Amino acid sequence: MPIDPDFQLHRRAEAYGNLKVWKNDSSRLGIYGTDVAVDFDLCVGDGACIDVCPVNVFEWQGEGADRKALPALERDCIYCFGCEAVCPKFAIRVTPLVRR
């Protein structure tokens, strides 16, 4: 099941190592990010999002079987949605922020 578009309303913020993730009772690892979010419970770490991203928003987090795609918050997404399209588990949710 893909990420709930309103996950921040339905989950609580918790620490996962040095990251702030959004968790609920059924999540083990949680969701990291805001406008580009990755559900660490769904991510299989195949790197498809890293390969397709034209502005290198993603980097690796963890090692081996625990390796996950991590959206780097200091990098600006151009909202091409390529990462969402190639993710085999629908573990990525891109929500363009409205800038005022």
Task: List % helix, strand, coil for the chain (3-state, nearest 5).
Answer: 15, 30, 55
Nearest to 89 by CA among 57, 25, 55, 41: 41
Kindly report, residue by residue over 6-52, the tens digit of the pLDDT: 888 999 999 988 889 999 998 999 999 888 999 999 999 999 999 99
- Domain presence at residue 2: no
Q: Residue 55 sits in which domain range?
A: 7-94
Q: Is residue 27 part of a domain?
A: yes
Whole-prediction pTM value? 0.87
pLDDT digits (tens, 9 = 90+) for 56-82: 999 998 898 889 999 987 678 999 999
Assess if residue 100 is contained within a domain.
Answer: no
